[in-house]
Amino acid sequence: MEWFGYRCTDCGRSFAREAVRYLCPDCGSNYRPGVPLMGVLEAVFDYDDLRRHLDQARPDWTLLSAVEPQHFPALAVGRTPLTPAQRLGQELGLPGLWVKNDGLNPSGSLKDRASFLVAAEALRLGERRIVAASTGNAASALAAVCAAAGLEALIFVPETAPKAKLVQMLLFGATVVTVKGSYDDAFRLSLEYTTARGGLNRNTAYHPLTIEGKKTVSLEIFDQLGGQAPDAVVVPVGDGVILGGVHKGFLDLLRLGLIDRVPRLIAVQAERSDAIHRYFAAGAYADAADPVTVADSISVRCPSNAHGAVRALRESAGLSVTVSDAAILDAQARLARTTGIFAEPAAAAALAGLERIQQGLDALPSSARVVLLATGHGLKDIEAPLGRIRIPEAVAPVLSAVKV
């Protein structure tokens, strides 16, 4: 593998790979739970050297991986389909619309990409236990990857996590601590745990390889579009790490000279879980006071990667919108009916956001090639859409009783 190290996204200081583990020792040293992380690290590669070694026709993306492939767990993560969504695209005035279906990852969400790389790092370092706080998906992803890798997963989740996600993590053999409190409480508790009792902490953005893991979705989109970047990528946003990861993937491609600009990133948040949206709009950070939403995976009071997310939006000439729970559930049904893709509410929020953009002054032109990130599978939370459908009553098994 080519040389890589870390760079602090706040002060710009560089570090050798083995010199740091989580945050920048300077900028992150005053970190206290309850504020967005400072000193988040970015993995930096030797791009000049990579330019010379990467086969442009058939790039070997493991050269851009921050952990060597011999440490990868034996689980097929990523390489999810990118499907044209023609009917939906026509309806939105965007014939060049694609859906990247990351619900098809082993545990059913894009989080598998982050957990996979952190587990590879744990194997490289000889750490046996990985600890994480999660709204649900990061935990089920970590549990799945740890099961494949023979590692121990210790997970802190709010007791309100959807049942299917709890079932997943328990069945994968994780140790689960359900916390009487919010996701933000679980985040703080898990940090206290690893500080006092050890283990590798996989908290989102806190461990820099969560961002690196998520960037692989951009490298795949580039491949799947035949070696091109789309014009825009629509991303549902909670902590802002998927957004940061998508941005990092395209930045790496830019640094390698494979694309000439990063796509516009479109951040979608739930109305009441909107800290990044307001931060981007107003330039000043404030928590989301009461981040309650049907889209549990994007319910965050204090997004850990708020600073990085806003940077990604600014640097990509991006846009940000918020959407109501009703719009999210409408979009979930619309996505299902027009594409055959059943996405969980947080993932469907991306479509609700794109609908809003297309109705407003910032509408994307009909020539735009747009990728909607479907970040999680609908079967993870079947309670959410139940109010929108009616399960038919049983009829007698005779044709005369069949009224359709």
Ligand X SMILES: *Cc1c(COP(=O)(O)O)cnc(C)c1O
Q: Please, which residue, 50 or 141, has the CB nearer to ligand X?
A: 141
Query: Rounded to the nearest whole angstrom, what is the least distance from the CB of residue 24 to Zn ion in the complex?
Result: 3
78-82-88 Cα angle (round to 5)? 140
Interface pick for Zn ion out of 39, 59, 240, 249 (rule CB under 5 A): 39
Helix (H/G/I), strand (E/B), else coil: 234: strand
10 binds, among Zn ion, ligand X, none (CB under 5 to 8 A by kind): Zn ion
Amino acid at 298: I
Helix (H, G, I), strand (E, B) or coil at 133: strand
- How is residue 263 annotated by DSSP? P
Residues 206 and 37: their CA atoms lie apart, in Å, by: 7
Question: Which of 3, 14, 16, 26 is in the footprint of Zn ion by CB under 5 A?
Answer: 26
239 binds, among Zn ion, ligand X, none (CB under 5 to 8 A by kind): ligand X
Largest CA distance in the chain: 76
Partner interacting with residue 26 (select from Zn ion, ligand X, none; CB below 5-8 Å by kind): Zn ion
347 binds, among ligand X, Zn ion, none (CB under 5 to 8 A by kind): ligand X
Beta strands 4-8 and 175-179, pairing class = unpaired
The smaller minimum CB distance to ligand X, of residues 183 and 256, is found at 183
Q: Which residues contact 223 (CB under 8 A, 6 or more apart)?
A: 59
Which spans of this chain sit near ligand X (rule: CB under 6 A)?
Answer: 109, 111, 137, 204, 236-243, 297-298, 344, 346-347, 375-376
**Cα–Cα distance between 282 and 249 in angstroms, integer?**
27
- The residue (of 161 and 346) whose beta carbon lies closer to ligand X is 346
Tell me which of Zn ion, ligand X, none is bound by residue 381, counting a contact when its beta carbon lies within the kind-specific cut-off of 5 to 8 angstroms.
none
DSSP conformational letter for 48: H
The residue to which tokens 């020792």 are assigned: 25
Min dist. Cβ of residue 13 to Zn ion (A): 5
Binding piece for Zn ion, criterion CB under 5 A, among 35-43, 119-127, 184-192, 391-399: 35-43
**Which of Zn ion, ligand X, none binds 111 (CB below 5-8 Å, type-dependent)?**
ligand X
Q: Is 97 helix (H, G, I), strand (E, B) or coil?
A: strand
Q: Which is nearer to Zn ion, 24 or 357 (CB)?
A: 24
Closest to 347 measured CA to CA, from 357, 334, 366: 334
The least CB distance from residue 82 to ligand X, in Å, is 17
Residues that bind Zn ion (CB under 5 A): 8, 10-11, 24, 26-27, 39
